[in-house]
Structure 1
Amino acid sequence: MIDLLRVILLGIIEGITEFLPISSTGHLLIAEKLGLGARSDLFNVGIQAGAILAVTLIYWKRIWQLLTQWRDPANRDYLAKLTVAFLITAVLGLIAVKHGFKLPETVTPVAWALVIGGVWMIAAEQLAARRPPSTQVTWTVAILVGVAQMVAGIFPGTSRSSATIFTALLAGTGDRPAATEFAFLVGIPTMYAATGYELLKVLKNGGAAHEDWTALAVGFVVSAVVAFAAVKWLLGYIRTHRFTAFAIYRIALGLALLAWMPLGS
C-alpha cells in the first residue's frame, strides 16, 4: 500500500510539472531525495508518456486539422514550422547524446537551473511585453524553439516548456496563448520520440524483465489524468495572467534547494 501511494504521488508530480514551466526533472529529483524512492528508467518513461498522451488529447482537434487540411496554406506553413523545429531538436539532441553532453541530474545544477530560469522568465516577459502582440509564428521562432528544446534536454531543471514558450515570446510570437500552443505542439512529437528512444534502451538492456507493471500502469494513468487537468488550467490561466508566479516559485524553490543541499549530495 505504501509503495502504491508513492507511485500515485510520483504520477501526480509528473502530471503537474511536465508541462508547467517549473521543471518535472527537478521536482522528481526532490521527491526522490524526500524519500519517495528512485524508480526504474522504464517507470520514468511510462509516467512521462502519460503526460504526453494528455496533451495530445487536449490538442487533438488542432493536430487533426493540421494533418487533414494541410493543403490550406496557413496550415501547411504551420505544419512545416513544427516539423523544422522538431528536426532541429532531434538532430542536435542526437549529437549531444553521441558526445555525452548532459549535466548530471543532481540537486545543485538543477537548483541553479531553476533560479536562473526563473530570473530569465521575468526578464523575458518584461521584454516581450514591450513588443506589439502577435500570434504569428515566424521561421525564426520555429528555429529558435527547436534549439531551445535541445538546450532544455541537456540542462536538467531548465524546463522544456519554459524554454520553448519564452523563446517563442522573445523571438516574435508575443501572444502568450499562441506561443504556448506552438511550444506544446512541437513538444508532442519531440517527447514521443524521446520517450520511444528511452524505451528502446530500457528494453534492449533487459530492464523490462523485472519491472513492476502494476505500478507502471498506475503511474501512467495518474500522470495522464493530472497532466490533462494541469494543462487545461494553464491554458486558461495564461489568457489573463503572466508567467511571473511560476518564475517566483522557481527562484524560491531553487534557493531553498541550494540552502538545503549546498553540495548536491
Structure 2
Amino acid sequence: MSDLINVILLGIIEGITEFLPISSTGHLLIAEKFGLGERSDLFNVGIQAGAILAVTFIYWSRIWQLFTKWRDPANRDYLAKLFVAFMITAVLGFIAVKLGFKLPEAVTPVAWALVIGGIWMIAAERLAARQPDRTQVTWRVAILVGIAQMVAGIFPGTSRSAATIFTAMLAGTSNRAAATEFAFLVGIPTMYAATGYELLKVFKEGGVQHEDWSAFGVGFVVSAIVAFVAVKWLLGYIRSHRFTPFAIYRIVLGLALLLLIPAGM
C-alpha cells in the first residue's frame, strides 16, 4: 500500500510540474531522493507521457485547426515555426546526447537551477512588461525557443516550460498567453520524441522485463489527470496574473534545499 501511495504521489508531482514553470525533473529528483524512492527509467517515461497526452487533449482543437487549415497562410507560417523550433531542439539535443553533455542529476545543481531560474523569471517578466503587447510569433522567437528547449533538457531544474515561455516573451512574443501557447505546442512533439527515444532505449536495454506494470499504469493515469487540471488552471491564471509567484516558489525551494543539503538532507 505504501508503494502505491508513492506511485500516486510521483504521478501527482509529474502532472503538476511538467508544464508549470517550476521543473518536473527537479521535483521528481527531489521527491525520489527524499523519501519516495527511485523508479525505473520506463516509469519516469510513462508518467511524462501521461502529462504530454493531457496537454495534447487540451490543445487538440488548435492542433486540428493548424493541420486541417494549412492552406491558410497564417497557419502555414505558424506550423513552419513550430517545425523549425522542434528541429533545432532535436538536432542540438542529439548532438548534446552524443557528446555526453548533461549535468549530473543531483540535488545541488537542481537547487541552484531553481534559484537562478526564479531570479531570471522575475527579471524577464519585468523586461517583457515594458514591451508592447505582441501576440505574433516571429522567426527569432521560433529559433530561440528551439535553443531554449535544448538548454533546459541538459540542465536539470531549469524547467522546459519556463525556459521556452520566457525566451518567447523576451524575443518578441510579449503576450503571456501567446508565448505560453507556442511554448506548449512546440513542447508536444519535442516531448513525444524524447519520450519515444527513452522508451526505445529502455526496450533495447531489456528494462521492460522487470517492470512493475501496475505501478506504471497508475502513474500514467494519475499524471495525465493531474496535468490536465494543472494546465487548464494555468491557462486561465496567466490571462490576468504574472508568473512571479512561481519564480518566488522556485527561489524559496532552491534556497531551502541548499541550506538542508549540508545538514545531510
Which string of whole-angstrom CA distances, capped at 9 and with x for unpartnered residues, describes residues 11-42 of structure 1? 00000000000001111111112210000000
Alignment of 1:1-265 (within 5 A): 1-262=1-262
What is the identity, as a one-letter code, of the residue corresponding to 2:178?
A
> Is the contact made by 1:111 and 1:253 (CA closer than 8 Å) also made in structure 2?
yes
Which string of whole-angstrom CA distances, capped at 9 and with x for unpartnered residues, describes residues 150-183 of structure 1? 0000000000000000000000001000000000
Deviates further, 139-148 or 22-31? 22-31
Q: Secondary structure at the match of 1:67?
A: helix
What is the identity, as a one-letter code, of the residue corresponding to 1:165?
I
Matched residues in 2 for 1:99 and 1:261: separation?
Answer: 30
What is the identity, as a one-letter code, of the residue corresponding to 1:104?
P
> Is the contact made by 1:107 and 1:264 (CA closer than 8 Å) also made in structure 2?
no
Q: Count residues in correspondence.
A: 265
Instruction: State the 4+ residue runs in structure 1 displaced beyond 6 angstroms.
Output: none
What is the identity, as a one-letter code, of the residue corresponding to 1:94?
F
TM-score w.r.t. length of structure 2: 0.99
Identity score, percent: 84
> Is the contact made by 1:108 and 1:264 (CA closer than 8 Å) also made in structure 2?
no
What is the identity, as a one-letter code, of the residue corresponding to 1:92?
L
Alpha-carbon offset, residue 203 of structure 1: 0.3
Gaps of 5+ in 1: none
> Is the contact made by 1:17 and 1:23 (CA closer than 8 Å) also made in structure 2?
yes
Which string of whole-angstrom CA distances, capped at 9 and with x for unpartnered residues, describes residues 79-135 of structure 1? 000000000000000000000000001001000000000000000000000000000
What is the identity, as a one-letter code, of the residue corresponding to 1:161?
S
Q: Secondary structure at the match of 1:191?
A: helix
TM-score w.r.t. length of structure 1: 0.99
The Cα RMSD (Å) is 1.0
Alpha-carbon offset, residue 264 of structure 1: 8.7
What is the identity, as a one-letter code, of the residue corresponding to 1:211?
E
Matched residues in 2 for 1:9 and 1:263: separation?
Answer: 25
Alpha-carbon offset, residue 262 of structure 1: 3.7
What is the identity, as a one-letter code, of the residue corresponding to 1:109?
P
Matched residues in 2 for 1:108 and 1:30: separation?
Answer: 10
Deviates further, 153-162 or 26-35? 26-35
Matched residues in 2 for 1:259 and 1:189: separation?
Answer: 38
Q: Secondary structure at the match of 1:70?
A: coil
Matched residues in 1 for 2:171 and 2:33: separation?
Answer: 37
